[in-house]
Structure 1
Amino acid sequence: MFKRFALAFSLGLMASSALTNSVLAADRGPLQIYVSKAMQTLTVYDGDELLMTSKVSTGKPGHTTPSGIFSILEKRKYHESNIYSNAPMPFMQRLTWSGIALHEGKVPNYPASHGCVRLPNGFAKTLFSMTERGAHVIITDEPVTPQPIFAANLFVPRQPVPEGGLLSDAELRPTKIEASLKPVEVAMNEVLPRAGAAAQLVLDDEPPLRILITRRSQREQVRDVQEMLTELGFDAGATDGVLGSQTLAAIRGYKRWKSIEKDGEILSPRFIAALTTSAGRGKPLDGQIMVRQKFKPIYEAAIGIRAPEKGLGTHFIEASHVDRFKGKVEWRSVSIENHLPAPTLKRLGITEPADDVNRVTAEDALARLDIPGDVRAKIETMLSEGSSITISDSGIGPETGDGTDFITVTRKKG
């Protein structure tokens, strides 16, 4: 999120920065930062309006800056690198806990850093003064531009019901998020409806949501298996999503019961189909929706993906001009190049990759999602300015953990 204030300055693109408008208005929506490694530029948008741009220097060969969807995790006016001999990093804005950041530094007309995004003197200070923790930074090879998106499956803000959210004793660890087919609730804030403009003001102050829509992982599938086996009298141990010795013994016991013990794959389609039938459940859903707020997981649930053999692609969508009482919101999106390796595609069951961003759009991906009504209602009552949605086939990556939003690292072809 960006602080809203009046700002006036004008510099050239080939200098450190440039503004399309000489004055940034005080009343603006959530801003986004885009870095293009191919162009060695950084641009700042308010919705689809370009506000300013600057040259930058990204990672040199052997120290390539990762591409993907990030957010600012930490800010320090003066910081010294704990990796590269205490090198100074003024106006540091951290993007990953593994060491990638925006910061002031030498900016030649080519990639020269050890992985960070260097900003020119002056511009680094200006950008630092504008941002707050949680602001989105999207790093790509070729430049991308946010565009308005209109899709029936996008969330629409609604007023919260009187009972609000509930606290739950369910525990979620950011690096090991998992759930059964039932939604999991954690630390949902209770927000009671209020009348008139005062209510809108209170709800507008709600921290933005970070929503990830992806495919269910093996851990979530194992958790379902553990629940079903235990319901059927096979003690699978803790419902932790781990294929431990007790869970494996329960799986073997069930397979002997159903005379499928020679099934080669532990979690084979035949085994899953038999188990869900025995437990009286329908076909497991293919998708998962996860929600974070203020860098903490608060909610997740299973959702459906139509034609799961087709890739969803990688897309970033952000909300602005949220009016809860009129039920209106504006969404803007970018689609990001992301090539998944063959083993990952096989593991995910994808036979038609979504490599071409011009062929598989965010609208296409959204149209294939089946989001249960109760899940949609829970999210829509908390939707606020700056809330964002990331759609990705590849799930939670290793950079997503304690004290982060959902970090999606993308890969270039070749």
Structure 2
Amino acid sequence: GDYVCVPYHLLNSYAAASEDVLSPHAPFEEFVEASITQINVTSQALIHSVKQDLTPSLGKATPELSVVALDAVLSELPRNPDWSEVDIHHVFARIVTIVSGWMFVGPEYCRTDEYMDLAANYAADAFGGPKLLQMFPKASRAFVAPLIPPLRRVWKAHTRIATLLGPAIEARRKAAATGEPVPDDMLQWIINNAHRFPDEIKDDGDITRLQLSLSAVAIHTTALTATATLYDLAAEPEIMDDVRKEIASVLRKHNGEITSKALFDMKLLDACCKESQRLNPADLLSARRKVMKPFTFSDGVSVPPGTMLAVPVHHIGRDPELFPDDPDKFNPHRFTRLRQNEGEGNHFQFASVTNGTMAFGWGKHACPGRFFASTEIKLILVHLLTNFDVKVVPGPDGKMQRYPNIEFGNMNMPDVKRKLLIKKI
């Protein structure tokens, strides 16, 4: 549908509005036709578990997560000393599924064929099916939905994930009842928090379906963001070499162990991720809201209920007033310099949201999983760049240039059909 874009100077009044006036959930619930499809991408149980459990656990989990990422990178990429063409997005989708799955469902399931198939493919059907459904009149959608193949696969996936994880939930409850230790992962945290959300979680099927919801919002976008970042680095070999040197230097200081503090110290790597996201947000719009009650901006402009609002994050990210030093150029040092300013060490990190960088959203409803996504992407890139050399495939003119994105509608995606040249170092 149509969106009214909110200009930069009105962002603060936009972010300050309460949920009952500007709903952050309604646009996504309508996008996936949630009342018909049973697709839940605005789960309060998930948001709570991510904020209260997943994010606080990252400091402790990062060293182990790093080992999982290293193993996934080495197992999924060809260890060829000669240059090989690699479908890097496909590889990243598998790596992200494994690494995310380790944190979501634990090592018992994260590498199984059934989990990887469900987790990696659910997003395409969960977002593609509703688009097909919306081609039909509203009054007929509930009757048409069972005839749409992607939605049939969605509902079959709900059954499959319940069959896969149902026994684990039962076993964990028995273990907890007898005082035995239970895993520290998203599945367990959702089990623990289920009683807080009785309207949303009524049975174990609701718990297992939330794992697919988590995969839908976490794996697809993370793999795309990692792909876009590596496309940028592969086209800038000097910057990529500087990142490698930084990684080596930081690892020496941390005795070779990748901790959350070590990742924090890799400021150029972090800046590369943030700069790539500034130039290549997967969605040209961010911070969507639906007007539920009459709303007036700080400049006096009023919008009626039913209006869809969004922030034009792509245009703001290239605004020369915000980024005066050639805003269309990939230059991660703009963020390393900003982080050197007094009191700004945390403000311009990859996972931070500011008025100029809002790909993760804006205000209190910014993506709650951005800290995990940031950690995951950086761990994968650390191990890839440490163990492999990467470059773009030269164009017909022999030049090594960054592959252009593909834009359709509001989407702005790296061309996932392009390949990178990779060799083992």
For the criterion TM > 0.5, the same-fold answer is: no
TM-score by length of 1: 0.25
Higher helix share: 2
The structure having more radius of gyration, on CA atoms, is 1
TM-score of the pair, normalised by structure 2: 0.25
